[in-house]
Amino acid sequence: MNGTGLLRRVAPQLLTLAAVLALVTVFFPSFLSVGLSGDRLVGSPIDVLKRGAPVALLAIGMTLVIATRGIDLSVGAIMAICGASAAFAVDQGWSLGVAVLLALGAGLLCGLWNGFLVAVLGIQPIVATLILMVAGRGIAQLITEGQILTFSDAGFAFLGSGAVLGLPVPAWAWILAGIVVGLVVRRTALGLLIESVGVNLRASRLAGVNSTVLLLTVYMISGLCAALAGLIVTGDIRGADANNAGLWLELDAILAVAIGGTSLLGGRFSILASLIGAMIIQSINTGILLAGFPPEFNLVIKAILVLLILMLQSPRLGDVAAGLLARRRRADETGAAPRPVQEAGR
């Protein structure tokens, strides 16, 4: 996809993001202001980039999984497992490098498990990943022994709340991960192969695509992204909360992919659009907190905004709108021709 093609692909998401930002700015005028505090940027847009990191990271992996016509419900639980593993490692006095490797390894292993169930055993993805979604929190609780496992390792905390060149580390993490994965799938044939598996698994297999390895790979990438997200949320609160880390985030990640315009039926996908989708969701979340509504309204407001966004993107509503526009144009061109017909109809 060249530059203008890419821009055309993500234009609806960019417009939606702009609309959400404008809406929040109406309720909270200084929403878009960014300042400098010490050597780091502060302000609501920076909070959005930082707080949106877990969902954005999950959305990268989720986009690839969904493109193969799959779904990964276990990413929230994988976050909890990986966060708990890393916290356990630093709590044992092991070095940060070991802790990070342990977490990433755990993420890969979880992804391999999901991929094995889907690609080798042929279990439907929603059922296969549901297993780890349910069991994963239990595994994480076993690692933390049911407590919030706290630590004071400055390096680990830096992963969650540090800043490089003014920008929070979590923001760097999802931006860089997005660029790397995006380049890998689009500068090679990998993206095309993923799409072909999603469109028609049997045809791709007959055409010589090794779908088993491909499916294993996408679930492992998803696990790896979840591991990064788990490291970030754990570093952020300097503690592994097995009960709550990543809770329900798999649903936000799926939503980000859907807002990004990738069909849940598999096939064509756009990581960039999913990432913008994640930022749209986070802007809504942060905006609701800033707007000062009573907390009882949070979920309803979010649901209404998401519904509006999805309605605007609905192809059928788009057809209706296009039809209405065309009709009006026709009416303008031929004078008031349709009107007498309508009146006659009464």
Partner 1 sequence: MTKILLASASALVLGTAASAQVVGFSQIGSESGWRAAETTVTQQEAEARGIDLQFSDAQQKQENQIAAVRSFVAQGVDAILLAPVVATGWDAVLEEAKEAEIPVVLLDRMVDSDPSLYLTAVGSDLVHEGEVAGQWLAEQVGEEPCRVVELQGTTGSSPAIDRAQGFRNGIEGHANIEIVQSQTGDFTRAQGKTVMEAFLQAENGGADICALYAHNDDMAVGAIQAIKEAGLKPGEDILVVSIDAVPDIFQAMAAGEANATVELTPNMAGPAFDALQAYWDNGTEPEKFIQTESKLYTQADDPQGEYDRRKGLGY
Least spacing, CB of residue 71 vs partner 1, in Å: 24
Beta bridge partners of 37: 40
Least spacing, CB of residue 158 vs partner 1, in Å: 12
- Helix residue ranges, H only, 28-146: 44-51, 53-67, 75-91, 96-115, 125-144
Residue 42 binds to partner 1 (criterion: CB under 8 A): yes
User: Other C-beta atoms within 10 Å of 9: how many?
Assistant: 16
Residue 131 binds to partner 1 (criterion: CB under 8 A): no
Residue 235 binds to partner 1 (criterion: CB under 8 A): no
Residue 76 binds to partner 1 (criterion: CB under 8 A): no
Question: Which tokens is 154 given?
Answer: 């400055």
Residue 144 binds to partner 1 (criterion: CB under 8 A): no
Nearest to partner 1 of 30, 95 (CB atom): 30
Q: Quote the CA–CA distance of 30 and 21 in Å, as a whole number.
A: 11
Least spacing, CB of residue 333 vs partner 1, in Å: 51
Q: Quote the CA–CA distance of 41 and 304 in Å, as a whole number.
A: 31
Among 2, 3, 4, 38, binds partner 1 (CB under 8 A): 38
Query: What stretches of the chain adopt beta strand conformation (E)?
Result: 34-37, 40-43, 149-150, 163-164, 167-168, 239-240
Least spacing, CB of residue 289 vs partner 1, in Å: 4
Residue 25 binds to partner 1 (criterion: CB under 8 A): no
**Binding segment (CB under 8 A) for partner 1, from list 92-100, 146-154, 184-192, 257-265:** 146-154
CA distances from 236 to 80, 152, 154, 276 (A): 13, 11, 11, 23
Contacts of 331 (CB under 8 A, 6+ apart): 337, 338, 339
Residue 182 binds to partner 1 (criterion: CB under 8 A): no
Residue 16 binds to partner 1 (criterion: CB under 8 A): no
* DSSP code of residue 296: G
The contact set with partner 1 (CB under 8 A) reads: 28, 30, 35, 37-38, 42-44, 47, 51, 146-148, 150, 161, 233, 236-239, 241, 244-245, 286, 289-290, 292, 294-296, 298
